[in-house]
């Protein structure tokens, strides 16, 4: 059989409607008659696993938005052709599939154990448990080595893993440390790689990133804003594409007061103490970890008494925060915790 075979699928809602089949353009070469297994994640996406193992590479087929092709479903019997229906929903894989290597013996052992446990048979579970117990007692559990299934690049007749980069070149965006120079724009390497992937929706992507008002944001805030953006504009900008496009507009801070934050190119948070509100508060020994901007009551108190809580100069460990602000944060955390305990107590009393 050949590449890019198409498969039609139905859902619970349209089993009786033959004109509502989803068409999936299958990206791999089929070596046997086994039907590939797809899972419908949502109305816009199907998931496919290359291998039937716990560590299988997953790829997604996305619904083609501007599809002008009409697929006719035919049944041919005894030289007669009957039209059963038609489809307009075409799902395509936008990312190329990575090649994979044959399983090693230790990997096969773990996959066999897992398969037996998940089979639901009590006999299989019992025999697997006894087998694993024997391995533990004899210290013969094999070392698990994940399959090399994420290596990209041009495939050659002979593959030398030492030549294959384990870090994908598409992740070559700016990740800087606290002392580093602030980048002013995305590097050309990343731009050239990601351009083809997002060019069809570049206008929508630019509109989304222009709607982000804060110069410093964590990925959780950006993701939350994406959900609101899609809902308010009645569009569907995929999370995967947004993440691919993110380094075109912002760089990433690795450490310091704004670690794990995405910052606008050319913007240096170390130069203005007004950026204290975007700092990460990490007092995990006291059970406290959050971004300061999440706490409006603390921000209001600091804005009213900046000189008491903030320093003029920034340092890597504390940023612009004085010890007094840490004490304020711990106080608010204690009050919030005590309040939540009382609320739980009241609920239990009234519930009884």
Tokens of 41: 């994640």
Sign of torsion, CA 317 323 327 329?
Answer: negative
Contact 281, 309 (CB under 8 A): no
Range with lowest mean pLDDT among 71-80, 207-216, 223-232, 275-284: 71-80
Q: Are 313 and 238 part of one and the same domain?
A: no
% of the chain with per-residue pLDDT over 70: 66
Q: Are 338 and 294 part of one and the same domain?
A: yes
Q: Are 180 and 230 part of one and the same domain?
A: yes
**pLDDT value at 98 more than 50:** yes
Q: Are 276 and 330 part of one and the same domain?
A: yes
Q: Tens of pLDDT along 270-314?
A: 999 999 999 888 776 666 667 888 888 888 888 999 899 899 999
How much of the chain is in helix, strand and coil states, percent to nearest 5? 40, 20, 35
Residue written as token pair 């039937």: 52
Task: Report the predicted TM-score, pTM, of the whole model to 2 decimal places.
Answer: 0.49
Q: Are 176 and 233 part of one and the same domain?
A: yes
Say what the pLDDT of residue 333 is: 66
Average pLDDT over residues 213-218: 94
**pLDDT value at 343 more than 80:** no
User: Has residue 261 been placed in a domain?
Assistant: no
CA distances from 154 to 96, 150, 163, 346 (A): 11, 13, 11, 64
Strand 261-264 with 319-321, pairing: unpaired
User: Has residue 81 been placed in a domain?
Assistant: yes
Minimal CA–CA distance to 316: which of 257, 243, 245, 248? 257
Counted domains in the chain: 4
Minimal CA–CA distance to 50: which of 112, 93, 110? 93
Mean pLDDT for all residues in the chain: 74
Q: Are 63 and 112 part of one and the same domain?
A: no
User: Has residue 319 been placed in a domain?
Assistant: yes
Range of the domain at 235: 170-250
């Amino acid at each position: 059989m050949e590449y890019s075979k198409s498969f039609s699928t139905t859902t619970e809602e349209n089993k009786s409607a033959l004109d509502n089949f989803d068409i999936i353009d299958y990206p791999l070469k089929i070596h046997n008659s086994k039907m590939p297994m797809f899972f419908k994640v949502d109305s816009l996406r199907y998931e496919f696993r290359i291998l039937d193992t716990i560590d299988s590479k997953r790829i997604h087929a996305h619904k083609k938005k501007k599809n002008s092709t009409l697929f006719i479903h035919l049944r041919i019997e005894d030289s007669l052709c009957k039209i059963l229906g038609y489809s307009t929903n075409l799902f395509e894989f936008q990312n190329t599939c990575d090649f994979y290597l044959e399983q090693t013996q230790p990997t096969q052992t773990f996959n066999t154990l897992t398969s037996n446990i998940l089979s639901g048979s009590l006999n299989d579970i019992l025999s697997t448990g006894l087998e694993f117990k024997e391995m533990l007692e004899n210290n013969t559990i094999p070392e698990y080595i994940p399959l090399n299934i994420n290596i990209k690049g041009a495939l050659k007749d002979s593959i030398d893993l030492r030549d294959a980069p384990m870090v994908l070149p598409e992740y070559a965006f700016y990740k800087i440390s606290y002392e580093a120079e602030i980048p002013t724009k995305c590097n050309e390497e990343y731009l050239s790689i990601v351009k083809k992937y997002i060019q069809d929706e570049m206008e929508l992507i630019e509109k989304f990133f222009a709607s982000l008002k804060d110069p410093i944001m964590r990925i959780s805030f950006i993701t939350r804003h994406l959900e609101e953006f899609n809902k308010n504009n009645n569009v569907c900008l995929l999370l995967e594409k947004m993440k691919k496009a993110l380094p075109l507009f912002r760089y990433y801070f690795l450490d310091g007061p704004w670690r794990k934050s995405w910052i606008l190119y050319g913007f240096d948070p170390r130069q203005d103490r007004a950026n204290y509100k975007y700092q990460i508060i990490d007092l995990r020994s006291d059970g406290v970890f959050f971004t300061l901007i999440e706490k409006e009551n603390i921000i209001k108190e600091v804005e009213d008494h900046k000189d008491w809580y903030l320093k003029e100069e920034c340092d890597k460990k504390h940023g612009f925060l004085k010890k007094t602000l840490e004490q304020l944060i711990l106080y608010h955390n204690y009050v919030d915790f005590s309040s939540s305990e009382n609320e739980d107590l009241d609920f239990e009393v009234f519930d009884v």
